[in-house]
Amino acid sequence: MISEIITITHATPIGKIFDKNHACGIFDADVILHKVLEFFVAYSVDAVIVTEKSLPIGILTRKGILAAVYNFDNTGLPIREFMTPSIKTFHSSISIADVIEAMEDLPFNKIVVHDDDNFVGIIDKRHLLSMCYTHLTPLIKHEYNMVQSLMGLVGQDEHQLLKMATTDTLTGIGNRRLFEEIFQAHQSLGDRYDVNLFLLLLDIDNFKSINDTFGHNVGDSVLKELVHIVNKSIRKSDIFVRWGGEEFAILLRYSDPLAVMKVADQIRNRIDQNSFETIVHVTCSFGLTSIQPNDLLEDVFERADKALYRAKADGKNTVRMEIP
């Protein structure tokens, strides 16, 4: 059963949305149908988990069981005959944001949530999105519509000025000013919404030699192509800006540092493997740090810069992290 009393954010572990006081319906695949029917009658559930040797192999939905009992002879058959075999499981510690993103590529709606020892529950994409929409509206407005909301308060001329003031003209992504404003919005909401934030800095290795050897036009083309690569490698909710020169910053939400390290290394590898149109090879070094609730932007960047410096000193084209 889904718990409706907790405060839900995109960083909330998916397991937290389930009410621990209600058992999750779990049945072996060889259990006959009428035994499961009793469970559906006794509890208000949409589906149960079907297992074989304690491993999930499918789910049996209310719609499926109604279709099965239409023919009374079916009630003595094992539930494996009526289950939906295609399922996806997620550990209860994975954030809601990561689950929703993964569900976009799934061919089915319902997912099974488990922890280290037990199955926690089942939820469908529509219900999960509905819960998030209800609880996350204030934060979503700050993250995605902050600039648009400001623009709605000004005239057309001011609208253009504000857009220019928060956009990097070369690459088309946000600039330092936009990042600073979004960072402050995140920090002001962090305690309220329990958001886990990370700052990732990336700097193009040997960029001065690229400009000196090939000219600034080639250097500009490299910057724009790199932005395209990074944009394809991050989520829409991640804030990606050009901090200055050949240095970029990304504000990310993830459940743990290892997940962010994995994302950073994927970006690093895609840049390393990319054949740029203008020159043969480009690499980047990365510095990562987590953001604490009371951190100032200067403190966060100092830690990320230290990590970036270590990445450069360790041979470049690598990722390093500075722990607060």
pLDDT digits (tens, 9 = 90+) for 199-232: 999 999 999 998 888 888 999 999 999 999 999 9
Confidence of residue 60 (pLDDT cuts 50, 70, 90): confident
pLDDT digits (tens, 9 = 90+) for 162-195: 455 678 889 988 888 888 888 877 776 554 445 5
β-pairing, 110-114 with 89-91?
parallel
If we measure between CA atoms, which residue out of 265, 278, 270, 283 comes closest to residue 207? 283
Average pLDDT of span 88-99: 82
Output the pLDDT for position 26: 86
CA dist 57 and 74 (Å) reads 20
Average pLDDT of span 120-143: 62
Strand segments, DSSP code E, in the chain are 26-28, 47-52, 55-61, 89-91, 110-114, 119-124, 197-204, 239-244, 247-253, 284-291, 319-322
14-132 to CATH, choices 3.30.43.10, 3.10.580.10, 3.20.20.150, 1.10.10.10: 3.10.580.10
pTM of the entire structure?
A: 0.55
Residue among 52, 104, 181, 246 flagged as catalytic: 246
Confidence of residue 157 (pLDDT cuts 50, 70, 90): very low
Each domain of the chain, given as residue ranges in start order, spans 14-132, 145-322
CA dist 125 and 53 (Å) reads 27
CA dist 296 and 140 (Å) reads 22
**Can you give the C-alpha Rg of the chain in angstroms?**
25
Query: Which CATH superfamily includes the segment(s) 145-322?
Result: Reverse transcriptase/Diguanylate cyclase domain (3.30.70.270)
Average pLDDT of span 292-312: 92
Q: Is 4 a catalytic residue?
A: no
If we measure between CA atoms, which residue out of 169, 195, 167, 193 comes closest to residue 181? 167
Task: Give the residue, 160 or 311, on which the prediction is more confident.
Answer: 311
